[in-house]
Amino acid sequence: MYGFKCLLLLIVFNSASSSTIPIAGFFNADKTEQEKVFKLAVENVNNVNQDKIFPEDSLILEPYVEHVLSFDSYNTSRRVCDLAMEGIGGIFGLHSPEAVGITESLCDTMDIPLIKTFWDVSAMPMKSAINLYPDPKILSKALVDVIKDMDWTSYAILYDSDLGLLRLQELLKSHKRAYTTEGHVPFTVWQLEPEGDVRPLLKQIQKTSETRIVLDCATERIIEVLKQAKQVKMLGDYHSYVLTSLDAHTLDYSELQLDTTNITTLRLVNPQRHYVQSTVQDWVFFHKSLLEDKVPITADTLKTDSALTYDAVKVYSEAVQKIRRDTQEDVEVSPLLCSQPQKWLNGSLIIEEIKKLEIDGMSGPIKFDESGQRIFFTIDITELTKNGFRKIGIWDPERGISYTRSGSQMQKEMYQSISNKTFFVVSRLGEPYLKELDKNLEGNARYAGYSMDLIDEIARDLNFDYKFYLAPDGAYGSFNKETKQWNGLIKELRERKADLAICDLTITYERRSAVDFTMPFMNLGVSILYSKPTKQPPDLFSFLLPFSIDVWTYMATAYLGVSLLLYFLARISPMEWKNPHPCNKDPDELENTLAIYNAIWHNIGSLMQQGSDIAPQALSTRVVAGMWWFFVLIMISSYTANLAAFLTMDRMEATIGSVEDLANQNKIKYGVLKGGSSANFFRDSNVSLYQKIWSQMESARPSVFTKSNDEGVERVLRGKRAYAFFMESTTIEYQKEKYCSLMQVGGLLDSKGYGIAMPFNSPYRIAISGSVLKMQESGRLQQLKDKWWKHSEDKADCPKPDEDAASSSELGIANVGGVFLVLLVGCVAAFFVAILEFLWNVRKVAVEEKISPSEAFFLELRFAIQCYGTTKPVRKPQEESVAEEDLADCPEIEGVEEEEEEDRGFFGDENMEEEYMRLNGFSNNIRAKSTQSYS
């Protein structure tokens, strides 16, 4: 039986023409287009060969079509062996790994060329196999380059099969860091369910706020996945998709109405190429019998597998023709048996010749390496528009990405996408950024402020409309670690309810990981808002301020102590006891002038810089007096030097000067806006000072945190300098202009900026940032700030510093009134002392003259109120008056006269000596008479 089959094959082989080579195509039942293209390719090759000048040199390919199941490797191997026994020149069309594995092994054993057209991930290349599908690693590099060029720092990968994950492994390996610069995970990987609803999976991706998707799934499933993505609102302005299928451009996306979603595809076959269009037109014109199906083959719908099948037949034909030209011999096939180690001699020649070819096909330029892998090809980068897919760039292994449109064209298209769009802008109330004019108004007319003016300038520059609305909870946006949810403005952006968020929203690392920001439109830092120290009322006794109470106490003590010491030293020093009558050389008693009242008067005179007629005589008392004068010199000089400054300087309440002063005291409470960026600054800071401040604010009772900045300002205003508030410096500037009693304490604790927030990966960020930069360079941002900070209607009319300085340069009665008061008190005290002295003298006169006190009072008063005379007569009792003649007989006078006679030579003049003796005797006689009368 076996011999009969061999004989039959030999007869068939001999009867066949030497210029005819049979080739076989293995296709699945559903690969109708690929099967048609295989037949069309063979027909075109045969037609081209038959049109040559010498038909006897022509090559005729005879196609055999085999329908096999993709997973049926057994029947596939049997059909390969049957064809080998009949004689076969090449095998095409196999796609399944199961069928290719056994077929590749058989072909490698018999040297039968195997032309593959699919993504082959086998690690062991066979010498008889050629693959027109691009090398997996090189094709993966194209995907990696495209994603990097689009600046995708993070994205989600959706795949539907293990084979798809293998195709994406180079993309997964391209990331060297576990987190991006914004703190995101570079990518997340999600597997689609084989069939059915994928919306639950898409909703999970939506919760992550990821808007960039790499979709790797079967071509026929792409539209269904995108439909479900649209149902869960994942096909909006901020979503971008990269479709890895090389046939994604052949689908119809019109039913999705994707006007704003950015969809990028990669394609190997360019339907706009002339070669592709002319080839398809030839099929339609010359081979209508092969294209009778209801779904015609067009250049726009041509699948990559079909184009590669066409190129495979062409490559095979070119190689055989090259061998025939080089060897001048026909390429003949021979029957082979799978059970015996037989090889087709021409098979290896064809394989080697294919590896050397460099031609253009429907899939672009074709070039192979030594292992039969296609190493050179071009990939078109396309973008979905209203009019279908548009080519925006090209990639090849040697040059990488080359864009077909200039940067100005890309910028123009971006601005065109912004124009005629209405942006929803979310904000929050807070002067001067946004305030509500009238609740009865609607739309943008309801609000006014810096934020409104800023977005209005940007809208005019970029030609778009906007609608303002307030965040429901009025919060800036903070992340709750317990609920894993954002609030405020950030929540509105992440849920895609708003396109922009404009207010005094600080750009922080945490917020930057959740949303995008433009470049800062205002730079600032955290500082301290505090009440100005109130001007103290002038002190009536301000002349005492140069010295402290302790110094005045010590001075008084020193004055009293030195006075007592001077009195004591004068009592014990013999030099201080003097003869009261120098003319009497033998006095009965000595007199000491430094009595206690004289010592006190001496020291007070020197202290007042006026001196005294009393002077110490002894060395010890003079030393004490000298040291006291030196002490007085230093103290009076110091007092005089400081007096002017203390009288002209405005006294202020004690205040804080820096954040260190605030942290090192416990009298003044301080707080911050709860959940704001300033609170996060202290909470997350590694500086020990700021950690101390945060711990004190957390432990303070009642709470020092506020729900809004306005509440914090109100607490500072009514806190009577017992509360300070941490706030952004720009807001402090506005509050200082609004309230004259507020001030900024210290410098900036950090440096940050306000930015316009938008959903993550927003396509409008570059355009809006450019508009902000333009406003900054033109000075428009500063003009807007001056409008709402310096020229606002709420600005208070605060006194200028120059006026304050002028008023404080001169002294008023309030500054020196205490001196006048001391003078008045001293005068009143002296007046009362004089009255006491007067009354004491009245009593004395009444006793001496034996008259009533009232008579004595009126006599003395009558004399005192006279406005003339400088002498006062001495009134004496008549019975005690002494006649002048009796004075001559006074023994005391006689004795004095005798003594004076002895010393007469001292005076030298007798008349002067007589006059002195007369007066001296009169005085002694009066003293004696008075003493007797008093006794």
Q: Which tokens go with 396?
A: 């090849």
Amino acid letter, 932: Q
Amino acid letter, 418: I
d(CA 843, CA 863): 16
Q: Compute CA distances 384 → 228, 240, 250, 648, 651, whole Å.
A: 18, 11, 12, 79, 74
Element (H, E) at 726: strand 723-728
DSSP state of 269: S
Per the CB < 8 A criterion, the answer to whether 113 and 316 are in contact is yes
d(CA 463, CA 917): 125
d(CA 594, CA 616): 7
Q: Which residues are annotated as a binding site for L-glutamate?
A: 506, 511, 677-678, 728
Per the CB < 8 A criterion, the answer to whether 129 and 355 are in contact is no
The strand pairing partners of 526, in sequence order, are 728
Distance of CA 888 to the CA centre of its chain: 114
- Closest by CA to 709, choosing from 691, 687, 732, is 732
Phi, psi (5° rounding) for residue 61? -95, 130
Element (H, E) at 77: helix 73-86
Per the CB < 8 A criterion, the answer to whether 747 and 524 are in contact is no
d(CA 775, CA 453): 12
Tell me which residue has tokens 């699945």: 28
Q: Which tokens go with 8?
A: 């039959």
Strands of the sheet containing 465-470, edge to edge, are: 465-470, 422-427, 500-501, 757-759, 515-517
Helix H, strand E, coil C: the string for 497-562 is: CCCEECCCCECCHHHHCCEEECCCCEEECEEEEEECCCECCCCCCHHHCCCCHHHHHHHHHHHHHH
Helix 304-327 × helix 32-50 angle, to 10°: 30
Give the count of beta carbons closer than 10 Å to the beta carbon of residue 217. Answer: 20
Cis peptide before 134 (omega within 30 of 0): no
Q: Which residues are annotated as a binding site?
A: 506, 511, 677-678, 728
Per the CB < 8 A criterion, the answer to whether 187 and 216 are in contact is no
d(CA 185, CA 368): 38
Angle value at C-alpha 426, between 421 and 429, nearest 5 degrees = 145
Sign of the CA dihedral running 737, 738, 741, 747? negative
Distance of CA 578 to the CA centre of its chain: 89
- Closest by CA to 683, choosing from 669, 668, 667, 696, is 696
